[in-house]
Structure 1
């Protein structure tokens, strides 16, 4: 079923992939997001203007979950911001209250139907619906699911550098670990289930992973935060303000773009607006983005 907060369903071999949107953010300017921002890019590639809000001054950033249905299993890729989360470091994330679970159900998925939750990384806008508040306690939202966490991200939260984001781990990650529902993927990545593969794409965060899906000869990749908008397809060296390690972020982006173009893989992004899904294509020596 399609609602204003779901996308059409895409088919990757035998897999069905549907976006369920939590919210859209429009408070950030491109010049804030990208230190190298040059507005003449919009003149060179006019379709990029469609990724800005009605004022033409702010980027549209989608926060959503990808639902994958394959071989009788229901898999979520990342889980958004979540409701009622204390986020003193971000007013955009703080105390959110959306009908996300109702939207998920409108797409045909009840929380207890979810078998696996695959996480690209452990930032606040990717793990929030891992848990929900029940009688003052954070409990797993998806009671029957196995949560798959990148080990490098878990390790990061054991370091002093994570102190100002520790609240995210405590309310959205630790409860699923304590419930015995979590497994980790090692730093080198690896296969999961039949058809998924975790690829190390660090830079945005310490243990960031992108996740590919292959079924009946067709390929997709869930890019996480390797990119935040189509701008970075045309300017792969432009890091967002949120990238922790600059050169590693660029290397990961180059790898992902080449993987997508070479394999003709559908790219299911974490924050692009419009459909949030598209193709990366070679155009001479450059790359281009086309929404699906």
Structure 2
């Protein structure tokens, strides 16, 4: 595993948000910042290479994001103003035959950071979406050849409940329609983890000739503090109790010596 350099600012088909502009889709708890994005992280799993590619970061009040939470043991995860720092980005998965992105950020620096890694929008074969909240679908539409893997329950829920923290029906859902499929991949396996959203899915990445594996959590966790506090609910959980049960199930099934957890919202290094 190695840590790479900072991302750079770049242009895209949708305008990025300015410093400290409130993001209505994520409510007043979140502020978009123009500060340094997350460090990139690379992991090789047999014949598969996985790299976190930053799109930017957001910050918010912990008591607003996690109602009733006590951060006295986790102040190291807060910034100098007492805010939670959350990365936003994508996991770039390169297999011997395909270029895959798991989630596609909020619409910040992702395309520029992918370009710095030698990945053009036309190179992406498949986009896997852990769920359809706006901070995971920001660059939908930027990858002209890509297919989109989305859980059926997730798709149906947001088609029936548009708006709020969900995807834009015209820009996101309309683009995915006709390109949507169920994840069926030799190296990526969908792990159902409902609760945060009805069809929330984590993604298990495996490689050839190794028992090492990587589990991309999606929004099963929003902070490392939830490792010690799996009961903490996030403010936008559709079903907080089911989200808690999904966390405990994943911990029991996958928290072992051969599995590395990865989360796009973890501040700093996204793996581990």
The reply to whether TM is greater than 0.5 is yes
Return the match for 1:25 from 58, 61, 65.
58
Residues 23 and 175 (structure 1 numbering): CA distance in 2 closer, same or farther, change over 3 Å? same
Do residues 53 (structure 1) and 79 (structure 2) align? yes
Cα distance in 2 for residues equivalent to 1:212 and 1:256:
11
**Structure 1: which 5+ runs fail to align?**
43-48, 83-97, 132-140, 186-191, 279-292
What are the within-5 Å matches in structure 2 for residues 194-205 of structure 1? 194-205=186-197
| Number of the residue aligned with 2:113 | 103
Quote the Cα distance in structure 2 between the aligned partners of 1:128 and 1:225.
15
Other-structure match for 2:175: 175
1:74 maps to: 99
Contact persistence 2:214–2:261 (CA under 8 A): yes
CA contact (8 A) 1:66 1:76 kept: yes
- The structure having more radius of gyration, on CA atoms, is 1
Alpha-carbon distance between aligned partners in 1 of 2:253 and 2:216, rounded to the nearest angstrom: 12
Equivalent of 1:256 in 231, 250, 258:
250
TM-score, normalised via structure 2 length: 0.81
SS in 2 for 1:251: helix
The structure carrying a bigger helix percent of its residues is: 1
Decide which structure has greater strand share.
1
- Native 8 Å contact 1:220 1:268 kept in 2: yes
Change in CA separation of 1:123 and 1:259 when aligned onto 2, cut-off 3 Å? same
| Separation in 2, partners of 1:275, 1:14 | 22
Structure 2 unpaired stretches of 5+: 8-38
**SS of residue matched to 2:190:** strand
Q: Does the Cα contact within 8 Å between 2:162 and 2:169 map onto a contact in 1?
A: no
- CA deviation after TM superposition for structure 1 residue 163, in Å: 4.5
Number of residue equivalences: 237
Deviation at 1:19, TM superposition (A): 1.2
- Could you tell me how far 1:165 is from its partner in structure 2? 5.3
Q: Match of 2:131?
A: 121
Cα distance per residue 1:74-114 (max 9 Å; x no partner): 110000112xxxxxxxxxxxxxxx34311111022111111
2:270 matches 1:276: yes
d(CA) in 2 for partners of 1:197, 1:8: 21
1:222-241 correspondence to structure 2 within 5 Å: 222-241=216-235
Q: CA deviation at 1:164?
A: 3.9
What is the TM-score with the length of structure 1 in the denominator?
Answer: 0.76
Q: The residue matched to 1:250 in structure 2 has which SS? A: helix
